[in-house]
Amino acid sequence: MTTLGIGNTGMLLATKFAPAPVLLATADQDYNNYKNQYDNLWSISTEGAIKRFKVGTSIWANNILRLENEILADIIDEDVVLFSSLGGGSGSSSLYPVSRILINNECRVLIVGVLPYKKEMNPPLANAVQAINNIMPIINKVSVMLFDNEKLRKQFDDDWDLVDGYIIKRVDYLMNLVSKYSIDAYSPLTIDESELKSVIFGGGFLDFSETFLEEKVPKFEYGSLNKKTKNCLVAMFVDKKEKEENMAEYHKIFTKTADKISTKVPNSRFIPGIIRGKINHSNSEQGISDRAYITIASGLSIENYLKKIEKIRDLAVKKAIAHMEIDKGSKFIDSKENRILDI
């Protein structure tokens, strides 16, 4: 797996997610933050994109051959996790050209994008809208997971270390569900690494839920399960302390739960399974603590995502129009007063 960080925020998240990421900087200040720590650090430009999507687009266009033939040339047939802010000029504008090169290299791509909060104003709001719009032509060839800084800054009281930690933890849990968070113990219905990756890299908008499915339907950030969902993985985590002879009962409980979820995604590729691991919390409102659930869906219907993006778009357009308005001044003294003031 290759981790790629683009722009200031993208590089920060990438370095927190992986020990040796590929980092693409478009400003000297961003480059200098990491030049003594990471070997695979590339300077694409020196002055940055001044937070403008159009300027960023020009930077990537001017460096497209370098990206294809040098920087990304050796990333072939790999799983790639790409971190980027959607509010900055360089990261937001990089998503289409970088993803297109990786797709041509037969890579599987997950874009982890961070939406700006409202008071970041323009250009970040406008950049986010343009970034999402720009990748729509390849939305079925890449997976896109969005995080909303508007919600996260409220949730963590503007503690940006906690915000970053939340994003990294979710992506880590998603990518390493089987390899890192499960143990070798008996399961009557297993999920393997290839099945997990087939959902993660299944294309379209991707989301992750820890809702306790025996009590409620999965709650996602924006999307919801419906007949348009392309891929859905549902896993019951059973605590590692439970004995093997009890697994038949868990299998029975899970079968009914999985049936309930599968009816919501009748046209989906549906992957159910039971994973053994340590249960720290179950999210059960009834206090059930011996099991928990994970739901991962990709190819989610874009309607709910577009509603969110359209709200950002409308706010960005409103602010852009106000910014572009020119105040028409008028003289506030007459010619007689002007002569008097001509001392």
Residue 342: per-residue pLDDT: 47
The per-residue pLDDT for 109 is 97
Q: Is the model's pLDDT at 81 over the cut of 90?
A: yes
Residue 266 has phi, psi (to 5 degrees) of -65, -20
> Which among 50, 36, 39, 40 is positioned nearest to 8, based on CA atoms?
50
Kindly tell me if the per-residue pLDDT of 240 is higher than 70: yes
Query: pTM here?
Result: 0.86
Report the mean per-residue pLDDT for the chain: 87
Query: CA geometry: angle at 323 spanning 318 and 326, to 5°?
Result: 120
3-state secondary structure of 242: coil
Q: What is the pLDDT of residue 332?
A: 46
Report the range of poorest mean pLDDT among 105-119, 200-214, 300-314, 325-339: 325-339
- State the Cα–Cα distance between residues 54 and 235, nearest whole angstrom: 43
pLDDT of residue 324: 58
d(CA 257, CA 216): 10
Q: Which long-range contacts (CB under 8 A, 24 or more apart) does 242-249 make?
A: 242/276, 242/290, 244/185, 244/186, 247/186, 247/187, 247/188, 247/274, 248/188
pLDDT digits (tens, 9 = 90+) for 290-311: 999 999 999 987 777 766 667 6
Q: What is the C-alpha radius of gyration for the chain, rounded to an integer number of angstroms?
A: 24
Question: Which position has the higher pLDDT, 130 or 309?
Answer: 130
Strand, helix or coil at 295?
strand
Quickly state the pLDDT bin for 88 (edges 50, 70, 90). confident
Res 95: pLDDT:
94
Whether the Cβ atoms of residue 212 and residue 185 lie closer than 8 Å to each other: no
Neighbours of 125 (CB within 10 A): 27
- Percent of the chain surpassing pLDDT 70: 86
Q: Which domains, from first to last, does the chain contain?
A: 2-175 (3.40.50.1440), 207-303 (3.30.1330)
Residue identified by tokens 């937070």 is 51
pLDDT recorded at residue 315: 63
| 198-207, 251-260, 334-343: least confident range | 334-343
Confidence band, pLDDT 50/70/90 cuts, at residue 343? very low
Stretch 59-77: mean pLDDT: 94
Predicted pLDDT at 339: 55
